[in-house]
Amino acid sequence: MSKCRFLSGNMLKIIAAVSMLTDHFGLMFFPFDVEYRIIGRLAFPIFAFMIAEGAKYTKNRIRYFFSIFLLGVICQSVYNSFDYGAIYNNILLTFSVSILLIYLLDLFKGAMLSKNPEPKRTALFGVLFILAVVAVYVLNNLPVKMRFDYGFAGCMIPVMISAFDFHGLSAPDILSKLDCLPVRLIMLALGLLMFIPDAPSYQWYALLALIPLALYSGKRGKYNMKYFFYIFYPTHLVLLEALYILFR
């Protein structure tokens, strides 16, 4: 099986970036051609999966969160140029919420699986996580429609992927066996199915992202392309916006 998994994290992100560029290009210039939207359905599941991976393996959690969050704030200025009729937060802000929820969930798992678990501490982190999830749900259902890109499901999908992440924890064997790629893909699929029924019909094509993700090697890739992907998101939005203004 390991020989079949030949796609690095970098390659998966490149696939997602091309998919996203195609989606946004079609949305701006050919809004009635659904083919662009179908190709674009690969982007979110792959990026959501890689956000969960980043939260799992990052050496500096605070820096990881603020890198995504601050970039999201910068991109929001570009996003606000579109008329969505709502306070609409871009996908990086969605993923920022996901990262915070993952960290809260990790605190709960760490307290629960510590060598000397303290019931009060475990309960505290469990309650904090539940309250945070409820808060995110409420925000996405306010009358003023202050919502995140992909809504509540979008915030929760990376968290669901991380549900059985026991990296660095002393988990029992029965739980450790669940910390594997097939289970993470099942959780991703369940998260997508939570979102798809209320979305346009072409969102079903998002499930096709499970195919390249099943080929994930678990390795980052030869080169550190982190900053390339950080720069790509705002840059492609600005360039598409400029082209739209120039040729509309």
Contact (Cβ atoms closer than 8 angstroms) between residue 163 and residue 187 = yes
Q: How is 41-78 classified by DSSP, letter by letter?
A: TTHHHHHHHHHHHHHHH-S-HHHHHHHHHHHHHHHHHH
Name the residue ranges covered by the structural domains of the chain: 2-247
What average pLDDT does the segment 96-106 reach? 97
pLDDT reading at 60 higher than 50 = yes
pLDDT, one tens digit per residue, over 127-177 is 999 999 999 999 888 876 567 888 899 999 999 999 999 988 888 888 999
What average pLDDT does the segment 99-117 reach? 93
**What pLDDT, on the 0 to 100 scale, is given for residue 85?**
44
**What pLDDT, on the 0 to 100 scale, is given for residue 84?**
46
- Say what percent of the chain tops pLDDT 70: 93
pLDDT reading at 107 higher than 80 = yes
pLDDT reading at 78 higher than 80 = no
Contact (Cβ atoms closer than 8 angstroms) between residue 87 and residue 145 = yes
Q: Of the ranges 43-52, 59-68, 230-239, which one carries the lowest mean pLDDT score?
A: 230-239
pLDDT reading at 86 higher than 50 = no
**What pLDDT, on the 0 to 100 scale, is given for residue 149?**
85
- Higher pLDDT, residue 3 or 211: 211
**What pLDDT, on the 0 to 100 scale, is given for residue 3?**
65
Ramachandran angles phi, psi of 222, nearest 5°? -65, -40
- In whole angstroms, what is the distance from residue 129 CA to residue 106 CA? 9
Mean pLDDT of the chain: 89
Point out which residues pair with 7 in neighbouring strands.
Answer: 216
**What pLDDT, on the 0 to 100 scale, is given for residue 223?**
80
| Encoded tokens for 13 | 């992100």
Quick one: DSSP state of residue 7? Answer: B
Ramachandran angles phi, psi of 148, nearest 5°? -95, 155
**What pLDDT, on the 0 to 100 scale, is given for residue 74?**
82
**What pLDDT, on the 0 to 100 scale, is given for residue 82?**
55
pLDDT, one tens digit per residue, over 219-229 is 988 887 877 88
Q: Of the ranges 46-60, 84-98, 117-131, 176-190, which one carries the lowest mean pLDDT score?
A: 84-98
The strand ranges marked E within 18-168 are 88-89, 147-148
The strand ranges marked E within 13-151 are 88-89, 147-148
- In whole angstroms, what is the distance from residue 9 CA to residue 225 CA? 10
pLDDT reading at 193 higher than 70 = yes
- With CA atoms as reference, report the closest residue to 233 among 103, 70, 11: 70
pLDDT reading at 71 higher than 80 = yes
- In whole angstroms, what is the distance from residue 248 CA to residue 245 CA? 6
Q: Indicate the residue type of 227.
A: Y
